[in-house]
Chains A and B, each alone.
Chain A
Amino acid sequence: MENGSSGVLSEFQQGNVDAFETLFRLHQRAVYGWILRIVRNPAAAEDLTVETFWRIHRAHARFQPSRGFEGWARRIATHAALDWLRTGRPECALTAEVSAELAARTIADAAVTAEIRQKTALAFGRLKPKLRIAATLAVVEEQPHKDVAEALGISVAAVKLRVFRALRLLRKDLERQGITP
């Protein structure tokens, strides 16, 4: 994500809609991509991108141009996605999405069957959203822990702890299903 010029940022802070549109055009793709990586559902990611920019506009007076737009937008986007995950809808979305994906994929690793991958995806979907979001970004999407920490508003150590807890709970869930990863 590129930061807009300081003039645009200052105008946005004062509530200028043209400056807001400029920032939207500059950052919408990156914000959408970030949200999609979390929710893994294109339609929901589009709605959440709209929701994110609405929240951004609502909070324009609190924006500090010196701190840049990118990180701020990413943080708001992460919280919007987290709110969506907490509604409970994503488990249905995840199931459908992942099932379709798995059905279409050939077996990448002969040792890991499609059934195990599907059970893993479903078990992962049962984790608490705050653990799932950290593990999705850090493990699945391999985003730097520093970026994940900044987006979630927590420390790098807290991100590592959440990833550790997510993996431990995932392992327990899989073991209950007779799968030993």
Chain B
Amino acid sequence: MNAHNEDRLKRLLQEALPRIEGEPEPGRDLWPAVLRRLDAQPAAPPWFDWALLAGLVGFVAFFPASIPVFLYYL
């Protein structure tokens, strides 16, 4: 992709996705929501997340060559 083509693609992308101008403001005061979030108990990860993690660790331990593949898709 040469520089000219790249510039055309950038212009097309800028046309497709309008730039957000200025400094937008949230539509409501978010501080009460932050306080509620702080007061809420942290959600414990569900058991299947731990099972998935354990499975992944086991897989990587048996097939270390798969690590670059995982890193690529992260």
Interface size class of B (residues with CB under 8 A): 20 to 34
Q: Is the CB of B34 within 8 A of A170?
A: no
Known: A33-B23, A50-B30, A168-B1. A105 touches B18 (CB 8 A): yes
The residues of B that contact A98 with a CB separation of less than 8 Å are 16-17
Contact of B9 with A181 in the complex, beta carbons under 8 Å: yes
CB-CB under 8 A from B30, the residues of chain A are: 24, 28, 32, 46, 49-50, 53
CB <8 Å contact, A167 and B38: no
Which one of B8, B23, B38 lies within 8 Å of A30 (CB-CB)?
B23
- The residue of chain A having its C-beta at the shortest distance from the C-beta of B31 within the complex is A24
Across the interface, which residues of B come within 8 angstroms of A135, CB to CB?
13
**When the two chains form their complex, are residues B33 and A112 in contact, meaning their CB atoms are under 8 A apart?**
no
| Binary interface encoding of chain B residues 25-43 relative to chain A, with 1 for a CB under 8 A from any of its CBs, else 0 | 1111011011001100000
Verify B31–A170 contact, CB threshold 8 A: no
A116 at the interface (CB under 8 A from B): yes
In the complex, the answer to whether B19 meets A36 with C-beta atoms within 8 Å is: no
Identify the closest chain B residue to A17 (Cβ).
B38
- Size of interface on A: residues with Cβ below 8 Å to B: 46
Contacts of B16 in A (CB 8 A): 98, 102, 116-118, 120-121, 124
Query: Assuming the A-B contacts A116-B12, A167-B10, A181-B8, are A141 and B27 also in contact, with contact meaning beta carbons closer than 8 angstroms in the complex?
Result: no
Instruction: Check A50–B20 contact: CB distance below 8 A.
Output: no
Residues of A within 8 A of B25 (CB): 29, 32
CB distance from A171 to the nearest CB of B (A): 6
Give which listed residue, A21, A51, A118, A141, contacts B20 with CB less than 8 A.
A141
B7 → chain A, closest Cβ, in Å?
A: 10
- Asked whether A77 is an interface residue with its Cβ less than 8 Å from the other chain, the reply is no
Q: How far is the CA of A171 from the CA of B2 in the complex (A)?
A: 12
- Please, how many angstroms separate the alpha-carbon atoms of A30 and B20 in the complex? 13
Let me know if A154 is at the binding interface, CB within 8 A: no
Q: Judge whether B49 is part of the interface by a CB distance below 8 angstroms.
A: no
Which of A37-45, A68-76, A145-153 lies at the interface with chain B?
Answer: A37-45
6 closest residue pairs by CB, A with B: A120-B16, A117-B16, A121-B16, A54-B37, A50-B33, A181-B9
